[in-house]
Amino acid sequence: MTVQINTDNNVEGHARLKAYIAEELGTALARFEDKITRLEVHLGDENSDKGGVNDKRCLIEARPNNMQPVAVTNHADTTEKAFHGALDKIKKVLDTAFEKQKAY
């Protein structure tokens, strides 16, 4: 499973952040490791350097084997909260998608 992490110009994408996100994804989605070819994480600050409520965005896209890609988005006050919210959502979406696949 390949993990790609992208940030916009308003979010610092330093190595420690990327390592943390990759580790969290690997731990949280370990049971899907053989079913997913690629995970993409997009982090952004929607209103740049201005303050705002829920202006940090995290989009996680998963590309399961032999299935259409699935994506979720979460907004929060901090990048970390946005990431963890999106991580919870992608786990639910993948659970549902693979359960449906088993049913066929």
What is the token pair recorded at 73? 């988005």
| Domains annotated on the chain, with CATH | 2-103 (3.30.160.100)
Q: Measured between alpha carbons, how far is 100 from 64 in angstroms, rounded to an integer? A: 13
Burial 45-82 (b: 16+ CB within 10 A, else e): beeeeeeeeebbbbbbbbbbeeeeebebebbbeebbeb
User: Residue 1 pLDDT more than 90?
Assistant: no
User: Residue 28 pLDDT more than 80?
Assistant: yes
The percentage of the chain sitting over the pLDDT mark of 90, rounded to a whole number, equals 66
User: Residue 29 pLDDT more than 90?
Assistant: yes
Q: Measured between alpha carbons, how far is 98 from 86 in angstroms, rounded to an integer? A: 18
pTM above 0.85, yes or no: yes
What is the number of residues in the chain?
Answer: 104
User: Residue 59 pLDDT more than 80?
Assistant: yes
Residue 60 pairs with which residues in a beta bridge? 41, 72
Amino acid letter, residue 92: K
Residue 104: per-residue pLDDT: 66
Q: Which residue has the higher pLDDT, 94 or 104?
A: 94
Mean pLDDT of 17-23: 92
Mean pLDDT of 45-66: 85
